[in-house]
Structure 1
Amino acid sequence: MITEKQIQLHSSASTQEGVFQAIADLAVENGIAVDNASVVAGLKERESLSTTGFQDGFAIPHTQSDSITRPAIIIVRTETGIEWESFDGKPAFFFISLLVPHEEAGTTHLQALAALSRALMDDESRQAFLTAQSSEQLAHLIKNAIQGDE
């Protein structure tokens, strides 16, 4: 679901829209989605239902779309915090985005989302994500979190 090519560690995005665009661009570049606009629209629509802002600077924006060709995780880490209506009231700067084709919405989506949420609630996992020095290292940590090998 994730490779180092699906991670942008130093994004210049400074708005929610900019983060969504960075996620969509990475999705299209990596063959995960065929259309940037529908990914951005899906992320916006999901965010309008309730915040995906977590805590300690993390958010998990996610969407399902017919333009998404395979389940994947895209990570964007911004240089500055962005207001995200997070649970702890702090700006978000670390975005773990889950993109899922419509036909896999009930299974892959919920399992991966639950695994990511558990990992983000664990102080050690969160700290490991924050201190990862490379896209490769971060991809490895995320894979382990989803597979339950924390």
Structure 2
Amino acid sequence: MEILEYLSKNRIKMNLEGRSKAEVIKEMAQVFVKDGILSADDLDEFISSIYEREKLSPTGMQDGVAIPHARTHLVKKMSLALGISKTGVDFDSMDDEPSKLIFMIAAPENAKGEHLDLLAEIAKLSFEEELVEKIESVETVEEVLNLLK
């Protein structure tokens, strides 16, 4: 499995505007709406699903990576969005550092194995400090895609 199987250039947001976890979650969820993964009518319910998952345990990993995610009937095809925050956002990460790379997963309810596999791939990426730092500092979507190849 590769991260790029689920990520498209339309779902990479280079400069997140949100400064709080709540603002970033909403901003990232809107990326799925703009790309047709999620209906605008379902946006609030999807965001609620993300919050429900966050209550179980925070999705802030380490070294500036967070992976908010939800499995829900609102999504038909597993998809990934990536947001980059220059300043970082508090996602209650394991190392107490702000998250600069926010990988949001929207998964169908029945995609448990595939969903876990994608989570594992992103978690592995969080251990590659040099790669994470390069992604944090790029200027274009194309550079992000090239680094993730």
* Same fold at TM > 0.5: yes
Cα separation, 1, equivalents of 2:87 and 2:127: 22
AA aligned to 2:38 is A
Cα separation, 1, equivalents of 2:65 and 2:81: 13
- Structural mapping, 1:2-17, within 5 Å: 2-17=7-22
Gaps in structure 1 of 5+ consecutive residues: 145-150
Find the counterpart in structure 2 of residue 73 from structure 1: 80
AA aligned to 2:121 is A
- Structural mapping, 1:97-108, within 5 Å: 97-104=104-111, 106-108=112-114
Query: Could you tell me which of 23, 30, 36 is aligned with 2:28?
Result: 23
Find the counterpart in structure 2 of residue 36 from structure 1: 43
Query: Could you tell me which of 111, 115, 126 is aligned with 2:121?
Result: 115
Cα deviation per residue 1:92-148 (whole Å; 9 max; x = unaligned)? 2320111111121x2210111111111111223323322333112213434x3xxxx
Corresponding residue pairs, total: 142
Identity %: 24
Cα separation, 2, equivalents of 1:124 and 1:83: 21
Find the counterpart in structure 1 of residue 140 from structure 2: 134
Cα separation, 1, equivalents of 2:32 and 2:67: 15
- State the Cα distance separating 1:71 from its structure 2 match: 0.8
Contact 2:86 2:136 in 1 (8 A): no
Cα separation, 1, equivalents of 2:101 and 2:129: 15
Cα separation, 2, equivalents of 1:84 and 1:124: 21
Q: Secondary structure at the match of 1:3?
A: strand
AA aligned to 2:9 is E
- State the Cα distance separating 1:20 from its structure 2 match: 1.0
Are 1:84 and 2:91 matched, yes or no? yes
Cα separation, 2, equivalents of 1:2 and 1:129: 14
